[in-house]
């Protein structure tokens, strides 16, 4: 077994605001004429890029205090075409959701781009259905940069081949901007923050099943107050750290607990991890609570396909927990991991193999026999005795943070090649983690 050396007696922390909700707070503020008040906004590169992009169309931004903003929109019909490219940096959510909104804004011309990693990510998943709605959107080989000429779109009905909240939200925002109707169906529920904010602003969705709904104009966008809770995807790093403590616990306060996001809690619990939920409440249509992760002994548990969308971003850190599980770890039905900030199947498999760990790679996941068992003990003693390894982070924040948690709980000297990507989602991660090492 890998040693567990870290102890912590009941440390309390908070994590920065939810990334998905922060992006959406900007986009719904753009749609809502007048002043919207946002608190808990994630001041990290990804949502800040979305915010900056829309200032180029006329969104007013006033910073009140850390994470607290007033966004003033002239209303969706009074926005102007931006004079320069909109740069979404590393953010798939930023570019895909914004593309939908812009496609539905008559008279707006815009070019949307991003960094090297974003320019490699698939955009056909939004381009195809948007074109079926009558949108004018193109990209070379269906990748960013994307050229958009906003126009009035048609009513549309879509059954998505993938459970993706980015695709769903892109089409919903296109329908909202263009005042057209949308019927949308997916196989497994993807995160439903867009649905929640849409309703929070006074609109109605008609559901045919939990994964099949229709929205119909007229829509109402009353500028409101959005409270963004801490991001469960960021909390996940410290929940796994808490469960992997040699002894003690960690309390992460004020975390968003939307049921479509809590797969990490279900999976850790199924693996024998003790996570206690305190102080549950509803804020701005979203469940919120405090999470206490307690030192636990983990075991293998199958992760069912239906859970995958609700823990898709947490798979790298869940894998780190799985390294400590009796019986090993496996993740399947997760081919979407190949379309994230990096190909996360390759990123995890390569880095773990580099540590001497045996990993079986599949098209849709990977499997790791129990570490220390006869099936998986090849070079273990060498890296445990201080050899350590370099970690290839592949421009991916979650890969970097996952291996830094492994280093903290085990003491194995791991050196990430670059950590600046962490700024895209979790400023302050390194100092928060160092706090546990003192």
Q: Kindly list the catalytic residues.
A: 313
286 binds ligand S3P (CB under 6 A): no
- Residue at token pair 């962490």: 422
DSSP type of residue 333: S
Determine, following the binding rule CB under 6 A, whether residue 336 of this chain makes contact with ligand S3P.
yes
Annotated binding residue at 11? no
- As a whole number of angstroms, the distance between CA 212 and CA 205 comes to 10
In three-state secondary structure terms, 87 is strand
Of the pair 57, 165, the CB lying nearest ligand S3P is at: 165
Strand partners, 137: 148
Instruction: Pick from 90, 93, 180, 295 the residue near ligand S3P by CB under 6 A.
Output: 93
Residues 349-388 binding ligand S3P (CB under 6 A) are none
353 known ligand binder: no
The response to whether 234 counts as a known ligand-binding position is: no
Would you say 313 is a known binding-site residue? yes
Strand ranges of the sheet holding 247-256, from the earlier edge strand across to the other edge: 7-14, 247-256, 286-294, 274-283
Q: Which of 356, 350, 357 is nearest to 329 (CA)?
A: 357
If binding is defined by CB under 6 A, does position 32 make contact with ligand S3P?
A: no
* Residue 169 binding ligand S3P, by CB under 6 A: yes
> Which of 73, 117, 166, 351: binder of ligand S3P (CB under 6 A)?
166
- What is the number of alpha carbons within 13 Å of residue 266 lying toward its C-beta? 19
Binding of ligand S3P by 313 (CB under 6 A): yes
Query: By C-beta, is 370 or 396 nearer to ligand S3P?
Result: 396
Q: At its nearest, how many Å lie between ligand S3P and the CB of residue 7?
A: 32
Q: Considering only CA atoms, which of 292, 268, 282 is closest in space to residue 11?
A: 292
In whole angstroms, what is the distance from residue 166 CA to residue 172 CA? 10
Confirm or reject binding of residue 312 to ligand S3P (CB under 6 A).
yes
Q: Which of residues 210-239 bind ligand S3P (CB under 6 A)?
A: none
3-state secondary structure of 35: strand
Nearer to ligand S3P, 166 or 410 (CB): 166
Of 50, 47, 339, 425, whose CA–CA distance to 167 is shortest? 339
Q: Which residue's CB is nearer to ligand S3P, number 8 or number 25?
A: 25
E strand segments, 15-172: 34-39, 60-65, 68-73, 86-87, 109-113, 136-139, 146-149, 156-159
Q: Which of 191, 261, 394, 397 binds ligand S3P (CB under 6 A)?
A: 191
Backbone angles phi, psi at 419, to 5 degrees: -120, 0
Of 319, 307, 308, 300, residue with least CA distance to 364: 308
**Residues in region 71-90 near ligand S3P by CB under 6 A:** none
226 or 383: CB nearest ligand S3P: 226
Q: Does 392 bind ligand S3P (CB under 6 A)?
A: no
Residue ranges that bind ligand S3P, judged by CB under 6 A = 20, 93, 164-166, 169, 190-191, 312-313, 336
């Amino acid at each position: 077994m890998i040693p567990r050396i870290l102890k912590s007696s009941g440390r309390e922390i908070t994590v920065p605001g939810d990334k998905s909700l922060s992006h959406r707070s900007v986009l719904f503020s753009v749609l809502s004429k007048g002043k919207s008040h946002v608190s808990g906004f994630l001041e990290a590169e990804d949502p800040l890029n979305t915010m900056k992009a829309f200032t180029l169309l006329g969104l007013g931004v006033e910073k009140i205090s850390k994470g607290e903003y007033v966004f003033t929109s002239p209303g969706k019909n009074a926005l102007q075409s931006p004079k320069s490219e909109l740069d979404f940096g590393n953010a798939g959510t930023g570019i895909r959701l914004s593309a939908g909104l812009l496609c539905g804004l008559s008279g707006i011309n815009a070019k949307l781009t991003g960094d090297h990693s974003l320019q490699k990510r698939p955009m056909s998943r939004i381009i195809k259905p948007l074109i079926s709605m009558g949108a004018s959107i193109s990209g070379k080989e269906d990748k960013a940069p994307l050229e958009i000429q906003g126009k009035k779109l048609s009513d549309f009905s879509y059954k998505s081949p993938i459970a993706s909240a980015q695709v769903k939200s892109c089409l919903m925002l296109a329908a909202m901007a263009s005042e057209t109707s949308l019927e949308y169906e997916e196989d497994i529920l993807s995160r439903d923050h867009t649905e929640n904010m849409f309703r929070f602003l006074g609109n109605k969705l008609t559901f045919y099943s939990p994964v099949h709904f229709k929205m119909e104009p007229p829509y109402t966008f009353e500028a409101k107050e959005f409270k963004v809770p801490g991001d469960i995807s960021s909390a996940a790093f410290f929940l796994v750290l808490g469960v992997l403590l040699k002894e003690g616990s960690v309390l992460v306060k004020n975390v968003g607990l939307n049921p479509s996001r809590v797969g990490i809690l279900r999976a850790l619990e199924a693996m024998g991890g003790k996570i206690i939920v305190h102080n549950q409440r509803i804020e701005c249509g979203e469940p919120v609570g405090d999470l206490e992760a307690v030192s636990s002994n983990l075991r293998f548990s199958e992760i069912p396909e239906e859970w995958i969308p609700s823990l898709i971003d947490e798979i790298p850190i869940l894998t780190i927990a799985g390294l400590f599980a009796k019986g090993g770890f496996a993740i399947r039905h997760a081919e979407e991991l190949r379309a994230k900030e990096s190909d996360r199947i390759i990123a995890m498999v390569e880095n773990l193999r580099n540590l001497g760990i045996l990993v079986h790679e599949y098209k849709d996941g990977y499997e790791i026999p129990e570490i220390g068992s006869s099936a998986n003990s090849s070079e273990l003693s060498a890296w445990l005795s201080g050899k350590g390894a370099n970690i290839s982070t592949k421009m991916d924040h979650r890969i970097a943070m996952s291996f830094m948690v492994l280093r903290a709980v085990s003491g194995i000297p791991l050196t990430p090649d670059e950590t600046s990507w962490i700024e895209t989602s979790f400023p302050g991660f390194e100092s928060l983690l160092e706090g546990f090492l003192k």
